[in-house]
Amino acid sequence: MTAQTVRDTSRIDPPARRVVLAVVSDRPLDVAAHEAAVAGPASGAVVSFTGAVRDHDGGRRVSGIEYVGHPSAGRVLAEVVAEVVAGCEVDAVAVSHRVGDLGIGDVAFAVAVSAAHRQQAFAAAALLVDEVKHRLPVWKRQVFADGTDEWVACP
């Protein structure tokens, strides 16, 4: 698993490939703090992704979401992030996924990637989002405005 990139010959030093943060947390996530954590003098680009709780799904109004993580979720997240970072020309990455009860607009998933160039940062961020969504053992219970609920993507 790697982001498709062309070797960067403009750099003086090789990409640092640092994992600054890879955590599953029940605390609110701050995307700006993720961005600041990965920024550095070699980074010409910082790309971030915010996964926020929306007010609808499948044509129904959503009033909130509960995320439940398997006890291995933190370890799995760290593994996924380390694999992506090892295969991409990035300087630093910070990734967090929230668990617990979240309201509309709350940040559930935060990703920040720094790299020398925007193409590298965008490619790595997209790969991180896809791999975390695919592999992280965190499940979502949507609560609808009519009081009903449903579990999404549960095993």
Tokens of 31: 């995307």
Strands 92-98 and 56-57: unpaired
Q: Does the pLDDT value for residue 3 go beyond 80?
A: no
Domains delineated in the chain: 18-147 (3.90.1170.40)
* pLDDT > 70: percent of the chain: 95
Distance CA 119, CA 99 (A): 31
CA angle, 40 then 41 then 46, to 5°: 50
Residue 8 pLDDT grade (very low, low, confident, very high; cuts 50, 70, 90): low
Q: Strand pairing partners for 91? A: none
Global confidence as pTM: 0.91
Distance CA 66, CA 136 (A): 15
Q: Does the pLDDT value for residue 56 go beyond 60?
A: yes
Overall average pLDDT of the 87-102 stretch: 97
For residues 22 and 13, the model is more confident at 22
